[in-house]
């Protein structure tokens, strides 16, 4: 068989077990692959350096060596080979290797348990995963610190608002403000692109101030109709090293004619807290003043159990990477359920973010999760859209 361009396709199988090399070579024969085989890392590296491959089948355990030591060589090799892992190790090791290879920018079709089932291997080879988006973005698309400073000066930064909904009865209990940069030409830049730039260039305090003002002003407008609906603002850990933050937030709340209960500070704890003592003091003072503190993206490695015990959080948000597919992924569901029960034991309000379907919402409700946030309830929207959403919801829930 040919690949449509008149060329034979070439596959490399790397496995220290001869019988497995033969099984793979035989299995792919009918797809028209010519197969080369390597038993060691060295042999494989030499072949990858001298020959272009369309696909590579790689055993994760090569005697004393690990197959994933070849990821760099695969990335540097000519062409863009489709990679398939094979292993006798458990599914979690196979999945971790797949993710690692994807993070390296390789095209991974999947990982199979050994002994390899020929039909499954052929099916994977027929699938053509797209080149992964994890390859670095071209630098040109990322805004510069100067662009951002200009945008802050021109007041181009605002927020969209996403509802947080009580799972037992569907009532709106809060709204998260998510920063958006709307350029003069109406293009909108998402926060993942400009928050790191703000953090790295001393602009994060100015940015946080602008979002806080924007969010509190909006909250002030919806409070008459929804007196208990709070607004949550994301606070970078870098900002917590400013000991004046509690007074500043007090001042902003007064200016907006709001009590401290109107604000929730969402914090992703990361290793970059330069001064943990000041951060702990700032958080404690905010909490004493009556501002709620939420630990964001819980479970992603930024936040730890120690953080929960050490700092006065009142709310825990389970990261969407566990929540969004917890109805189909039994392991994600176990983590979600255990986190809900731990948070409840600790007396924390528990929020699930990334709720995309009613199936997930129903599961969370049954497991005792307090609040849900996600596309199923409402996408992030501008203030006028939020007010419409709130009005429609009030009628629906009443």
Q: Just list the catalytic residues.
A: 353
Given the rule CB under 6 A, which of 221-229, 281-289, 338-346, 354-362 is the region that contacts ligand C2E?
354-362
Under DSSP, is residue 328 helix (H, G, I), strand (E, B) or coil?
Answer: coil
Which one, of 111, 81, 60, lies nearest residue 10 by Cα? Answer: 81
Report what 68 binds from ligand C2E, Mg ion, none; CB cut-off 5-8 Å by kind.
none
Choose, by CB under 6 A, the member of 190, 196, 202, 312 that binds ligand C2E.
190
Dihedral angle over CA of 236, 239, 241, 244, nearest 10: -140
**Structural tokens at position 228:** 């208990």
Task: Name which of residues 343 to 382 contact Mg ion (CB under 5 A).
Answer: 353
- 266 part of the interface to Mg ion, by CB under 5 A: yes
- 380 part of the interface to ligand C2E, by CB under 6 A: yes
Q: What is the Rg, in whole angstroms, of the alpha carbon atoms belonging to the chain?
A: 26
Nearest residue relative to ligand C2E (C-beta): 374
Choose, by CB under 6 A, the member of 87, 98, 292, 324 that binds ligand C2E.
324
233, 260 contact by CB (below 8 A) = no
- 353 part of the interface to ligand C2E, by CB under 6 A: yes
Q: Measured from the CB of residue 62, what is the shortest distance to ligand C2E in angstroms?
A: 37
Choose, by CB under 6 A, the member of 269, 297, 315, 327 that binds ligand C2E.
297
Collect all residues with Cβ–Cβ distance below 8 Å to 76 and sequence separation of at least 6.
48
Given the rule CB under 5 A, which of 200-208, 261-269, 372-380, 390-398 is the region that contacts Mg ion?
261-269
- 378 part of the interface to ligand C2E, by CB under 6 A: no
Report what 219 binds from ligand C2E, Mg ion, none; CB cut-off 5-8 Å by kind.
none
Collect all residues with Cβ–Cβ distance below 8 Å to 208 and sequence separation of at least 6.
233, 235, 236, 239
Residue carrying the six token digits 């809060």: 174
Residue carrying the six token digits 């900002």: 239
- 234 part of the interface to Mg ion, by CB under 5 A: yes
Under DSSP, is residue 172 helix (H, G, I), strand (E, B) or coil?
Answer: strand
Residue 205 φ/ψ region, left for φ over 0, alpha for ψ in the -120 to 50 degree band, beta for the rest: alpha
Q: What angle do CA 143, 146, 151 make, to 5 degrees?
A: 80
The DSSP symbol for 139 reads G
Number of Cα atoms under 13 Å in the Cβ half of residue 354: 16
Q: Is the peptide bond before 115 cis (omega within 30 degrees of 0)?
A: yes
Given the rule CB under 6 A, which of 218-226, 245-253, 301-309, 351-359 is the region that contacts ligand C2E?
351-359
- 236 part of the interface to ligand C2E, by CB under 6 A: yes
Choose, by CB under 6 A, the member of 110, 163, 354, 372 that binds ligand C2E.
354
Q: Which is nearer to ligand C2E, 222 or 377 (CB)?
A: 377
The CA-atom distances, in angstroms, between 253 and each of 65, 202, 256 are 59, 24, 5
Task: Name which of residues 299 to 318 contact ligand C2E (CB under 6 A).
Answer: none
Element (H, E) at 254: helix 245-255
Choose, by CB under 6 A, the member of 20, 98, 162, 349 that binds ligand C2E.
162
Phi, psi dihedral angles at 236 (to 5 degrees) = -65, 140
- 297 part of the interface to Mg ion, by CB under 5 A: yes
Q: Which is nearer to ligand C2E, 77 or 373 (CB)?
A: 373
Q: Measured from the CB of residue 235, what is the shortest distance to Mg ion in angstroms?
A: 9
Given the rule CB under 6 A, which of 87-95, 120-128, 187-195, 364-372 is the region that contacts ligand C2E?
187-195
Q: Name the site residues for Mg ion (rule: CB under 5 A).
A: 234, 266, 296-297, 353
Q: Name the site residues for ligand C2E (rule: CB under 6 A).
A: 162, 178-179, 190-192, 195, 211, 234, 236, 266, 268, 296-297, 320, 324, 353-356, 374-375, 380
């Amino acid at each position: 068989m040919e690949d449509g361009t008149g060329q034979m396709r070439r596959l490399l199988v790397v496995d220290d077990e001869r019988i497995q090399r033969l099984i793979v070579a035989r299995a792919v024969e009918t797809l028209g692959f010519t197969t080369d085989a390597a038993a060691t890392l060295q042999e494989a590296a030499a072949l990858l350096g001298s020959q272009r491959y369309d696909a590579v089948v790689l055993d994760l355990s090569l005697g004393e060596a690990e197959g994933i030591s070849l990821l760099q060589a695969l990335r540097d090799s000519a062409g863009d080979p489709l990679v398939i892992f094979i292993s006798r190790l458990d599914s979690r090791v196979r999945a971790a290797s797949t993710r690692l290879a994807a993070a390296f920018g390789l095209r991974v079709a999947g990982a199979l348990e050994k002994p390899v089932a020929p039909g499954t291997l052929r099916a994977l080879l027929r699938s053509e995963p797209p080149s992964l988006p994890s390859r670095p973005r071209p630098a040109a698309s990322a805004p510069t610190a100067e662009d951002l400073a200009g945008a802050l000066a021109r007041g181009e930064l605002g927020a969209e608002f996403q509802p947080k909904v009580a799972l037992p009865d569907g009532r709106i209990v809060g709204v998260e403000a998510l920063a958006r940069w709307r350029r003069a030409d109406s293009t909108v830049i998402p926060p993942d692109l400009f928050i790191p730039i703000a953090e790295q260039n001393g602009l994060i305090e100015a940015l946080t101030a602008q979002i806080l003002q924007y969010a509190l002003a909006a909250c002030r407008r919806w409070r008459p109709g929804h007196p208990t609906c709070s607004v949550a603002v994301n606070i970078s850990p870098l900002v917590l090293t400013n000991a004046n933050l509690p007074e500043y937030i007090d001042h902003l709340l007064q200016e907006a004619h709001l009590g401290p209960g109107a604000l929730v500070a969402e914090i992703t704890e990361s290793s970059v807290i330069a001064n943990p003592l000041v951060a702990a003091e700032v958080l404690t003072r905010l909490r004493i003043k009556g501002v709620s503190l939420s630990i964001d993206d819980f479970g992603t490695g930024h936040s730890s159990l120690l953080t929960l015990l050490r700092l006065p959080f009142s709310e825990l948000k389970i990261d969407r990477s566990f929540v969004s597919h917890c109805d189909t992924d039994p392991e994600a569901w176990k983590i979600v359920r255990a986190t809900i029960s731990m948070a409840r034991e600790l007396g924390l309000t528990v929020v699930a973010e990334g709720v995309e379907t009613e199936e997930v919402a129903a599961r969370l409700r049954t497991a005792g999760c307090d609040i849900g946030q996600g596309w199923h309830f409402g996408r992030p929207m501008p203030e006028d859209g939020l007010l419409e959403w709130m009005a429609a919801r009030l009628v629906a829930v009443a």
